[in-house]
């Protein structure tokens, strides 16, 4: 097994090196083949591993596959602790491996066509970055301890930075990239502190030891650690308050948005929490926090998405809100549900982005949906796949989204009905904005310019193929996790992941609600969703360029994303800058350096004054001598004060 | 005659000399005051020599204790004479160049 | 013997350089000399046993000419030896008036640095401490920027005061030793009471703090770095600042354990304040050199804080970070130098878009920047990780505050990167050209070191283990 | 009150008075003349102390030679008029005051000096002051300084020539 | 005894040499030869090979230390004449007389290194001073020279008066002129140490000696006199004469310091700190390098005073080393300075370009004066500080001293700056190759001593 394990990340690394170093010499096609080929190879490798895990894990009672951990070498070894460079391949990581390499491969394929206009050098750069990203992401999920995870964690952050700023001529893009990196950095600090905490208490960061020695941690420790880890997740997975970078990150090429900012990277936080599920299960306080933050994000982002007109922005906010759902799931302890949703979401959200990409591609980088419409006529495949994706995300049975979202909502209900109802509200909003998007883009009449219309065409096969594949996946993807209301223990995913969550499962009693309840809930929700869909489609069919005016009132606030960015600038960025300026111009210059120079100035001043004592007058010189002598005498009779001296005279 | 009288007397002369040095501006007068100081010292030395001599005389009638002080006075006079010759020469040179013997006039060198 | 050679080669070659008539000869000669030193240093590093040299010198002062290389010494000598060829390669095309003197002084500085890292006799150490300073003074004052004289003078006097105070402390310690000797072991053997220790601690510490420099003794540094010729700046920020840290580990802590415990809190807090403070200032810097200077202050602050956490793994971190910081910061300086030489400005606001004109430079700069913000798999990460870990185990809140500087580091470094290489071309940058071969070579070497030591830090840790354990045995 | 005491006090008051006159008299010539009286008074003291040799030498060297030299110089520069501009009072005052302090300190010192309490000065008698004894000692014990002081005179002479002669 | 007699005779010889030859250079050569003779004579004496025996009745006594010190002084004078002979010739027409006076001064310094008793101290100081009054005024047409000479003379005479009063009081207390160091009080009396009269005498003596070595607050004559005097003689005064004064100072108080009890250290600390303060701080803002050096010589005196603070072996070694280092560096730097027409800092601008040899040598001298390691000056200061630390306590005074040393770096390096870092065309007097070689050799000597100070010290214990 071990050999193969190393191959998985090795291929993308190779791809990165080859494309990166040979970017001046390789032809576009070569670059494309290398780039996506490497990912395909590592997809093969990981599916092989998947097979092994599947095969090995089932017979064993505790479900742990043989030698799930392989060590490469000792990364850091001090007297205090040892941090090996180790990979852990078990059910959780292998699942993510498949998602990453699979979708990664599709998106590479897609990109070969999407990025055609780029000149070779940058084309190669693009694929190099992409491969590097896959490499880091694999490191993240395969890492056998928190440090390796952190390496990947930072690596994907770097790649997203590079890819968002891919068109580096554009200042705004660079700004967005920087923003993304720094906001991630804030989260990373939390992550690091958590790691230090673990290391400080347990002297190790390897999952195997940490989770087995967890009982050595006090409740306070666990709460602190989990909270800090969650802060890290906030940054990476764009949760309140650190979500604002994700919408801006849409500056990057659309495939990048699909891969990094929808399917894979942003789910790192979920992966991390799922990985350390046992910690969270033992920290109910943090769990509540996670649930609330997740839910809040889900609703909040959904509201913003309602009024966005940029096709990618809508998708971005929907991503944020879907991530919110996942955290809700984690918060309520439905880890499987979270992972499940990660997977399905990866399918349909990637599909949506790619579809959007294909639209943008066709519209010559027009992203405003108010200027689109009636595209189904020109790009059928895109249209169909997009529609399927919308249905999936809206959660219409039997599309994948339905199962995962349903599982989450059920879990939420089990924990606290309030969660459930709010969650449903979010789901309805999701449906609304998705179908608003769909309708405005594909239905109605075309509102773009003439020559745009003239150029409209279906995208090449390299782009449509991934769409189709993903569409299939998002349709059928749900069937790996059928809730037992339909069929008793058909929930394959739950079985598969059970070893991972076994410990948590022991600790948390999962009271299942009765089937009747569930049926009712599903029915109600589904009908509501369908209703919303019908309403939305009818409402926006008749949308024309005329009423694409600026939103007003509450709509305006939503359109401006609750002014969160502005508030951040006012509340944090500007004061910080001002303070830094104060330090630079006042404290440093006049304060500290002033003090240092002040000493010098003092000496100079003293010098100038002392020179005056040297008056050139013999008499004054002698006068001082005499007085000094008198002083000396007085010093010598140090026991005799002047007064005594006087009375001795007379 | 108690020695203290002599000491007070000499110190007075000495101090007068000092005051003269401090207060007068004529280089020659200043120099004279220095001479005054030296004379005060001379007298004091002689007084001391006689004091010690007297003390020693009781024990040994042929003692020469205290004679070295008088010789010291002799040497002081020698030095004083030499100093005077040089000093006056300097003052004269000064006078040649500036036509003044005012020491406050000497302030090209300062600070 | 190797130890002695490490000292003598730069010294001798430096003196010879003065004799050489035309500059080019000196340039090539010094390059060769530095390479020779590097080879020697490598030999020393791969010699498993401790290397030393000892001969009588000022016997009636109780001082001997004693050199000894433990792990830390080896590593810092290696750093010194690695840095010089890189610098000479990077500045290969720069024209210096009176070049032979320039290179001569550079090599003399190297000799001084080697001496500081090798000497295990306090008086000898003091001599080299000064010997390293004087040539730098001349280098900066002769070849520096327009405000050079005043700035360098301030730097010189500032550090000189420090070393004089250290001298007083040394004298006092000398008379406390049983056998009236300056040898390190006799000094270690001295057992003072807490009161005296605290006085002497500060006498020494101020000297080292000024050299490092840590807040609030740092104000000479940005000016000096800005005004010095870049080659010298590289030496100063790459190697010289390590003198302070080295001295703290080698001399201060073992001699005054009680005072160290007593004041570690003060020092750590000062250092942490310095980290955040310097990072904040760096955010607002428009001058590349000053920005790098302040970021360097922040990094050094972390090291000095980590030393005093009394945590062995933190000390491991300091050890390897001394080397890695030296490498990385030099990389940054080389880029800064290139930009200044090519475009005649250091103002970030006047730069931009170099990625289009000079891709190679852009890539390498980004790598240096990533190393500067201690991204994992760059060499800086390991050190900072260990040091932060130590700081954390010392006090969580201090660690958290210090952690802010991680974020700030990202802010100012990415600012710099963005303003230099991204965005549109500015008036100055539109006719920029890519790196010349020699600079590219130097930078690539550095980049390789960054990655290699980022992935395989372990050999470095092993190399310096003995010093760490020695320190903790002593305490 | 024996004659010696009368003489002592007379000479002392004379000396002090005339030395003060040296200070206060505007005309340098007068100062010098007053100084000469001081010297006479001091010579008188020497005689009281039976230091005849010094008494004579004092008269010859100081009053005779040195003061005449001074007079010559002053005449040469015809400063006999009161040429000296008035020194500002402040300077004078500080001079006097600090001199006074100095005197006060020394006097208090002497008052506390225990080792000389009750010691008396041998007046009139005692023959160490006689030329015979002085000469003997000078040329036996003190011959080295005596010879060496010739160097002093040499240098003084050379100096006077170097400085004094026109060129 | 050799040195005293020989120097006196040679003085006379030099005096007459002016009659036989009108060539100044010949006179200089004669002087150099004479100095060699003097040096030889003194060395013979100190190695005990041949010494003229005279019964000095305990008024003089010659010990190794004194003779050794004297050797240093004579050697320094020799170097001085070798380097600056030209300038002596340029001062005025009476070259022969100047040399004669220099020899008389040497006679005085010899006495000061061998005196035993206050009488010889007095004579020695006078013999040393009177020629200096004249040398100071040697530039007869130069008002500054006149003024300096007159000031020096008046204040010197005054300080002589003070000293004599001190001696008188001492004599009154003890009844002898010996440097006994014996308290006259019978042990029965409560306070140990000096009786009041004795103490008063010692304090007055202390003051006058402070005056001679230009220690604050009795230093005021120094800047004016050094500034006004012909530069060549300034260098002579600032080095040989001052060093001799110091030796006398140390010798006088070696035995007697104890008598003043604890307040002795207080007095001395006051003087030391005052001297360091005044010397260093005032030197910072001088425009004329010559005057700056005058102040710096005050500062150096402050360091030398440490020898009195701590009477121990290191103090004596230190004062020797200091004398060597200080004399060599100062003589050397004055020699360099005298090659420049304009003594202001700007006058030296660009000297490095104009004459590298001079600039380099000058730099070494300045580094030595500043006490930078690997120059003789460092070990000089080092021994002084070490002797104090060894004597125990009073770390604060050492710290103060080093802080002032840092200040001194400021003004010494200002000279280096103008020589190396500032552009300019200094107008120079003609510089012979011999001179260049001379200064470079001197610099080499300073560095050698800086690396191996023991070669100087080991000679002390032959």
Q: What is the DSSP string of C74-118?
A: HHHHHHHHHHHHHHHHHTTT---TTHHHHHHHHHHHHHHHHHHHH
Query: Could you tell me the pLDDT band of residue E73, with boundaries at 50, 70 and 90?
Result: very high
pLDDT at position A346 is: 92
* pLDDT, average across residues A639-647: 54
Higher-scoring residue by pLDDT: B107, E113: E113
* pLDDT, average across residues B36-43: 94
CB contact under 8 A, C382 and A150: no
Residue B89 has which token pair?
Answer: 């020469």
CB contact under 8 A, E203 and A621: no
Q: Taking a C-beta distance cutoff of 8 angstroms, is the pair E165, B41 a contact?
A: yes
CB contact under 8 A, A189 and C469: no
Query: Could you tell me the pLDDT band of residue E327, with boundaries at 50, 70 and 90?
Result: very high
Whether A460 shows a pLDDT value over 50: the answer reads: yes
Whether A167 shows a pLDDT value over 80: the answer reads: yes
* pLDDT, average across residues C110-130: 93
Q: How many CB atoms lie within 10 A of CB E47?
A: 12
Query: Could you tell me the pLDDT band of residue A397, with boundaries at 50, 70 and 90?
Result: confident
pLDDT at position A641 is: 53
Is A485 strand, coil or helix?
coil
Whether A57 shows a pLDDT value over 60: the answer reads: no
Least confident of A533-547, B19-33, C214-228, C375-389: A533-547
* pLDDT, average across residues C408-421: 91
**Nearest-by-Cβ selection for A617 from B21, B23, B107:** B107
Residue with tokens 């599916």, as numbered in its chain = A47
Which stretches of chain D drop beneath a pLDDT of 50?
none
pLDDT at position D113 is: 79
Interface residue E422 vs chain B (CB under 8 A) = no
pLDDT at position A59 is: 40
pLDDT at position D81 is: 62
Q: How far is residue A427's CA from residue A396's CA, in Å, rounded to a whole number?
A: 11
* pLDDT, average across residues A38-66: 73
Q: How far is residue A148's CA from residue A121's CA, in Å, rounded to a whole number?
A: 31
Chain A residues in contact with C410 by the CB 8 A cut-off are 181-182, 185
pLDDT at position A551 is: 67
* pLDDT, average across residues A534-559: 76
Neighbours of chain D (3+ CB pairs under 8 A): A, B, E
Interface residue E204 vs chain A (CB under 8 A) = yes
pLDDT at position C61 is: 85
**Nearest-by-Cβ selection for A618 from B106, B108, B111:** B106
ipTM of the complex: 0.91
Interface residue B94 vs chain D (CB under 8 A) = no
* pLDDT, average across residues A351-378: 86
Residue C51: phi and psi, rounded to 5, are -100, 140
Distance from CA of C469 to the nearest CA of A (A): 9
How many beta-carbon contacts under 8 Å exist across A and B? 30
CB contact under 8 A, B18 and A626: yes
| Cα angle A319-A323-A329, degrees, rounded to a multiple of 5 | 150
How many beta-carbon contacts under 8 Å exist across A and C? 128
pLDDT at position A61 is: 39
Whether E240 shows a pLDDT value over 90: the answer reads: yes
pLDDT at position A58 is: 44
Distance from CA of E94 to the nearest CA of B (A): 16
| Cα angle C385-C474-C381, degrees, rounded to a multiple of 5 | 10
Q: Return the closest-CA partner of residue E378 out of C265, A595, C126, A273.
A: C126
Whether A172 shows a pLDDT value over 50: the answer reads: yes
Q: How far is residue E139's CA from residue A604's CA, in Å, rounded to a whole number?
A: 33
Per residue in E26-70, pLDDT (tens digit) is 999 999 999 999 999 999 988 888 888 888 888 888 888 899 899
* pLDDT, average across residues C462-471: 87
Whether E370 shows a pLDDT value over 80: the answer reads: yes
* pLDDT, average across residues E228-232: 94
CB contact under 8 A, A627 and D109: no
- Interface of chain B against chain E, CB under 8 Å? 3, 7, 10, 14, 17, 21, 27, 30-31, 34, 37-38, 40-41, 44-45, 48-49, 51-52, 55, 65-66, 68-69, 72, 75-76, 79, 82-83, 86-87, 90-91, 93-94, 97-98, 103, 106, 108-110
Q: Which H or E element spans position A93?
A: helix A91-114
Q: How far is residue A328's CA from residue A408's CA, in Å, rounded to a whole number?
A: 8
What is the percent of chain C with per-residue pLDDT over 70, rounded to a whole number?
100
Whether A428 shows a pLDDT value over 80: the answer reads: yes
Supply the pTM of this predicted model.
0.91
Whether C162 shows a pLDDT value over 70: the answer reads: yes
pLDDT at position B71 is: 93
Query: Could you tell me the pLDDT band of residue E299, with boundaries at 50, 70 and 90?
Result: very high
- Interface of chain E against chain D, CB under 8 Å? 4, 8, 11-12, 15, 54, 56-57, 59-60, 92-94, 97-98, 100-101, 104, 107-108, 111, 119-120, 123, 126-127, 130-131, 133-134, 137-138, 140, 172-173, 184-185, 189, 195-200
What is the percent of chain C with per-residue pLDDT over 90, rounded to a whole number?
63
Q: How far is residue A60's CA from residue A52's CA, in Å, rounded to a whole number?
A: 13
pLDDT at position D77 is: 83
End-to-end Cα, chain B, rounded Å: 50
CB contact under 8 A, D154 and E189: no
Whether C75 shows a pLDDT value over 80: the answer reads: yes
Per residue in A593-618, pLDDT (tens digit) is 888 889 989 999 999 988 888 888 88
Query: Could you tell me the pLDDT band of residue A388, with boundaries at 50, 70 and 90?
Result: very high
pLDDT at position A60 is: 40
CB contact under 8 A, B103 and E171: no
CB contact under 8 A, A621 and E282: no
**Nearest-by-Cβ selection for A614 from B21, B108, B111:** B111
* pLDDT, average across residues E430-450: 93
Least confident of A40-54, A60-74, A436-450, C460-474: A60-74
Tell me the pLDDT of chain A averaged across its residues.
Answer: 86
* pLDDT, average across residues B57-64: 84
pLDDT at position E393 is: 66
* pLDDT, average across residues A11-24: 90
Q: Is D140 exposed, middle or buried (0-12, 13-18, 19+ CB in 10 A)?
A: exposed
Q: How far is residue E380's CA from residue E391's CA, in Å, rounded to a whole number?
A: 17
What is the percent of chain A with per-residue pLDDT over 90, rounded to a whole number?
35
Max distance between CA atoms of chain C, in angstroms, equals 69
Contacts of C140 (CB under 8 A, 6+ apart): C148, C151, C152, C155, C224, C227, C228, C229, C232
């Amino acid at each position: 097994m071990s050999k193969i394990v190393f191959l998985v990340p090795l291929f993308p690394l190779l791809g990165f090196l080859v494309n990166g170093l040979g970017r001046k010499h390789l032809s576009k096609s070569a670059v494309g083949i290398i780039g996506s080929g490497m990912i395909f190879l590592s997809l093969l490798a990981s599916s092989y591993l998947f097979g092994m895990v599947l095969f090995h894990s089932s017979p064993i009672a505790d479900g742990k596959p043989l030698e799930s951990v392989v060590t490469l070498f000792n990364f850091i070894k001090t007297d205090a602790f040892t941090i090996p460079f180790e990979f852990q391949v078990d059910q959780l990581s292998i699942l993510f491996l498949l998602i990453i390499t699979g979708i990664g491969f599709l998106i590479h394929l897609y990109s070969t066509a999407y990025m055609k206009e780029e000149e070779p050098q940058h084309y190669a750069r693009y694929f190099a970055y992409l491969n590097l990203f896959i490499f880091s992401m694999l490191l993240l999920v395969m890492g056998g301890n928190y440090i390796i995870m952190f390496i990947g964690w930072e690596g994907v952050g770097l790649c997203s930075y590079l890819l968002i700023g891919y068109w580096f001529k554009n200042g705004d893009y660079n700004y967005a990239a920087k923003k993304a990196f720094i906001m991630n950095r804030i989260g990373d600090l939390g992550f690091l502190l958590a790691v230090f905490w673990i290391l400080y208490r347990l002297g190790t960061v390897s999952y195997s030891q940490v989770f087995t020695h967890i009982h050595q941690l006090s409740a306070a420790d666990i709460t602190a650690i989990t909270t800090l880890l969650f802060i890290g997740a906030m940054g990476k997975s764009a949760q309140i308050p650190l979500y604002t970078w994700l919408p801006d990150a849409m500056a990057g090429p659309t495939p990048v948005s699909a891969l990094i900012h929808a399917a894979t990277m942003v789910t790192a936080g979920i992966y991390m929490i799922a990985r350390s599920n046992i910690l969270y299960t033992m920290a109910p306080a943090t769990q509540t926090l996670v649930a609330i933050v997740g839910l809040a994000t889900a609703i909040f982002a959904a509201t913003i998405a309602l009024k966005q007109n940029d096709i990618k922005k809508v998708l971005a906010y929907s991503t944020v809100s879907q991530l919110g759902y996942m955290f809700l799931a984690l918060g309520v302890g439905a880890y499987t549900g979270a992972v499940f949703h990660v997977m399905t979401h990866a399918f349909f959200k990637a599909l949506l982005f790619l579809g959007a990409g294909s639209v943008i591609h066709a519209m010559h980088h027009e992203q405003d949906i108010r200027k689109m419409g009636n595209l189904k006529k020109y790009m059928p495949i895109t249209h169909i796949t997009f529609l399927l994706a919308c249905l999936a995300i809206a959660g219409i049975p039997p599309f994948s989204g339905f199962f995962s979202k349903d599982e989450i909502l059920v879990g939420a209900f089990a924990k606290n009905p309030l969660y459930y109802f709010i969650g449903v509200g979010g789901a309805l909003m999701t449906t609304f904005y998705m179908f608003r998007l769909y309708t405005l883009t594909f239905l109605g009449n075309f509102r773009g310019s003439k020559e745009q219309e003239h150029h409209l065409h279906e995208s090449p096969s390299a782009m449509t193929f991934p769409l189709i594949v993903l569409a299939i996946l998002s349709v059928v993807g749900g069937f790996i996790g059928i809730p037992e209301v339909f069929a008793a223990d058909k929930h394959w995913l739950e079985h598969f992941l059970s070893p991972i969550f076994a410990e948590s499962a022991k600790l948390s009693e999962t009271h299942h609600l009765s089937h009747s309840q569930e049926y009712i809930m599903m029915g109600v929700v589904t009908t509501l969703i369908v209703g919303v869909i019908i309403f939305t489609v009818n409402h926006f069919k008749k949308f024309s360029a005329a009423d694409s005016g600026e939103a007003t009132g509450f709509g305006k606030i939503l359109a401006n994303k609750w002014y969160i960015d502005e508030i951040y600038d006012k509340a944090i960025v500007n004061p910080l800058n001002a303070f830094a300026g104060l330090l630079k111009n006042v404290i440093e210059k006049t304060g500290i350096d002033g003090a240092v120079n002040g000493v010098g100035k003092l000496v100079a001043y003293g010098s100038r004054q002392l020179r005056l004592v040297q008056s050139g007058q013999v008499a004054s010189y002698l006068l001082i001598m005499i007085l000094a002598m008198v002083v000396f005498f007085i010093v010598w009779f140090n026991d005799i004060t002047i007064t005594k001296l006087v009375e001795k005279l007379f | 005659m108690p020695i203290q009288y002599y000491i007070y007397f000499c110190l007075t002369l000495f101090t007068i000399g000092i005051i003269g040095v401090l207060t007068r501006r004529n280089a020659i007068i200043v120099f004279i005051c220095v001479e005054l100081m030296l004379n005060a010292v001379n007298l004091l030395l002689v007084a001391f020599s006689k004091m010690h001599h007297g003390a020693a005389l009781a024990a040994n009638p042929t003692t020469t204790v205290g004679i070295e002080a008088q010789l010291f006075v002799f040497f002081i006079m020698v030095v004083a004479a030499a100093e005077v010759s040089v000093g006056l020469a300097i003052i004269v040179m000064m006078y040649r160049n500036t036509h003044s013997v005012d020491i406050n006039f000497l302030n090209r060198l300062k600070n | 013997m190797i130890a002695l050679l490490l000292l003598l080669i730069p010294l001798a070659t430096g003196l010879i350089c003065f004799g050489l008539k035309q500059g080019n000869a000196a340039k090539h000669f010094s390059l060769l000399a530095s390479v020779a030193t590097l080879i020697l240093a490598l030999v020393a590093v791969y010699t498993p046993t401790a290397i030393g040299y000892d001969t009588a010198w000022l016997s009636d002062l109780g001082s001997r000419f004693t050199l000894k290389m433990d792990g830390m010494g080896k590593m810092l000598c290696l750093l010194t030896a690695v840095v010089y060829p890189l610098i000479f390669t990077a500045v290969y095309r720069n024209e210096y008036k009176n070049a032979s003197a320039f290179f001569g002084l550079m090599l003399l500085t190297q000799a001084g640095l080697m001496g500081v890292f090798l000497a295990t006799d306090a008086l000898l150490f003091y001599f080299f401490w000064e010997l390293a300073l004087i040539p730098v003074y001349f280098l900066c004052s002769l070849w520096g920027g327009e405000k050079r004289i005043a700035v360098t003078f301030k730097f010189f006097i500032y550090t000189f005061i420090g070393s004089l105070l250290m001298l007083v402390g040394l004298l006092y310690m000398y008379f406390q030793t049983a056998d009236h000797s300056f040898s390190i072991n006799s000094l270690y053997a001295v057992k003072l009471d807490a009161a005296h220790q605290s006085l002497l601690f500060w006498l020494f510490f101020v000297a080292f703090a000024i050299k490092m420099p840590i807040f609030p003794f740092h104000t000479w540094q940005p000016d000096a770095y800005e005004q010095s010729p870049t080659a010298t700046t590289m030496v100063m920020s790459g190697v010289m600042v390590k003198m302070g840290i080295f001295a703290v580990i080698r001399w201060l802590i073992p001699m005054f354990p009680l005072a160290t415990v007593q004041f570690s809190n003060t020092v750590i807090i000062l250092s942490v304040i310095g980290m955040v403070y310097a990072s904040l200032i760096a955010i607002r810097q428009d001058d590349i050199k000053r920005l790098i200077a302040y970021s360097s202050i922040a990094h050094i602050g972390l090291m000095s804080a980590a030393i005093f956490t009394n945590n062995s793994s933190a000390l491991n971190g300091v050890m390897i970070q001394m080397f890695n910081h030296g490498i990385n910061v030099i990389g940054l300086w080389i880029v800064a130098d290139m930009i200044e030489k090519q475009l005649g400005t250091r103002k970030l606001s006047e730069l931009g878009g170099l990625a289009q004109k000079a891709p190679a430079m852009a890539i390498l700069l980004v790598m240096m920047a990533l190393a500067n913000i201690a991204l994992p798999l760059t060499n800086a990460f390991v050190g900072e990780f260990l040091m932060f870990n130590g700081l954390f185990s010392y006090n969580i809140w201090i660690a958290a505050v210090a952690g802010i500087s991680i974020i700030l580091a990202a802010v100012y470094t990415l600012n710099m990167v963005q303003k230099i290489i991204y965005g549109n071309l500015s008036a100055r940058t539109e006719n920029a050209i890519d790196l010349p071969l020699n600079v590219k070579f130097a930078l690539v070497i550095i980049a390789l070191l960054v990655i290699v030591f980022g992935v395989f830090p372990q050999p470095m840790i092993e190399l310096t283990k003995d010093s760490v354990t020695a320190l903790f045995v002593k305490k | 009150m024996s004659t010696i005491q009368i003489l002592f006090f007379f000479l002392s008051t004379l000396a002090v008075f005339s030395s003060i006159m040296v200070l206060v008299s505007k005309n340098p010539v007068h100062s010098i003349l007053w100084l000469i009286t001081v010297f006479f008074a001091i010579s008188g003291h020497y005689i009281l102390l039976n230091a005849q040799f010094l008494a004579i030498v004092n008269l010859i060297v100081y009053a005779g030679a040195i003061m005449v030299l001074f007079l010559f110089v002053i005449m040469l520069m015809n400063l006999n008029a009161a040429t000296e501009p008035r020194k500002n009072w402040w300077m004078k005052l500080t001079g006097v005051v600090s001199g006074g302090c100095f005197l006060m300190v020394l006097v208090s010192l002497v008052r506390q000096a225990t080792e000389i309490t009750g010691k008396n000065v041998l007046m009139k008698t005692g023959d160490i002051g006689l030329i015979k004894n002085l000469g003997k000692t000078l040329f036996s014990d003190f011959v080295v300084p005596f010879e060496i002081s010739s160097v002093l005179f040499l240098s003084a002479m050379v100096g006077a020539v170097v400085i004094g002669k026109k060129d | 005894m050799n040195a005293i007699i020989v120097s006196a005779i040679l003085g006379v010889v030099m005096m007459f040499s002016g009659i036989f030859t009108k060539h100044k250079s010949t006179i200089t050569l004669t002087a150099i030869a004479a100095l060699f003779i003097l040096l030889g004579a003194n060395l013979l004496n100190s190695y005990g090979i041949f010494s003229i025996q005279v019964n000095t009745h305990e008024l003089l006594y010659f010990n190794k230390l004194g003779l050794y010190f004297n050797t240093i002084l004579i050697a320094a004078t020799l170097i001085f004449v070798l380097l600056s002979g030209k300038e002596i010739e340029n001062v005025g027409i009476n070259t022969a007389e100047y040399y004669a006076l220099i020899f008389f001064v040497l006679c005085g310094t010899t006495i000061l290194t061998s005196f035993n008793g206050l009488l010889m101290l007095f004579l020695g100081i006078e013999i040393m001073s009177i020629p200096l009054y004249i040398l100071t005024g040697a530039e007869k047409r130069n008002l500054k020279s006149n003024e300096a000479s007159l000031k020096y003379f008046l204040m010197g005479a005054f300080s002589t008066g003070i000293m004599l009063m001190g001696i008188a009081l001492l004599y009154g207390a003890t009844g002898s002129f010996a440097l006994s160091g014996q308290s006259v009080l019978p042990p029965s009396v409560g306070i140990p140490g000096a009786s009041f009269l004795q103490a008063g005498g010692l304090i007055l003596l202390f003051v006058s000696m402070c005056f001679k070595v230009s220690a604050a607050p009795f230093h005021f004559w120094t800047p004016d006199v050094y500034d006004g005097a012909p530069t060549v003689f300034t260098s002579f005064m600032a080095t040989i004469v001052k060093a001799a004064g110091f030796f006398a100072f140390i010798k006088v108080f070696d035995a007697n310091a104890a008598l003043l009890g604890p307040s002795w250290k207080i007095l001395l600390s006051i003087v030391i700190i005052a001297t360091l303060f005044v010397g260093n701080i005032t030197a910072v803002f001088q425009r004329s390098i010559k005057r700056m050096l005058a102040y710096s010589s005050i500062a150096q005196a402050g360091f030398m005073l440490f020898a009195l603070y701590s009477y121990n072996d290191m103090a004596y070694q230190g004062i020797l080393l200091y004398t060597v280092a200080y004399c060599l560096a100062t003589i050397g730097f004055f020699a360099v300075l005298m090659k420049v027409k304009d003594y202001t800092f700007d006058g030296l601008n660009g000297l490095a370009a104009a004459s590298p040899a001079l600039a380099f040598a000058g730099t070494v001298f300045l580094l030595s004066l500043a006490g930078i390691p690997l120059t003789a000056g460092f070990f000089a200061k080092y021994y002084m500080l070490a002797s104090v630390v060894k004597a125990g306590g009073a770390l604060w005074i050492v710290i103060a001293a080093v802080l002032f040393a840092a200040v001194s770096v400021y003004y010494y390096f200002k000279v280096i700056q103008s020589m190396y870092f500032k552009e300019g065309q200094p107008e120079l007097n003609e510089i012979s190759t011999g001179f260049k070689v001379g200064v470079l050799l001197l610099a080499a000597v300073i560095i050698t001593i800086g690396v191996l100070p023991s070669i100087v010290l080991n000679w002390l214990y032959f």
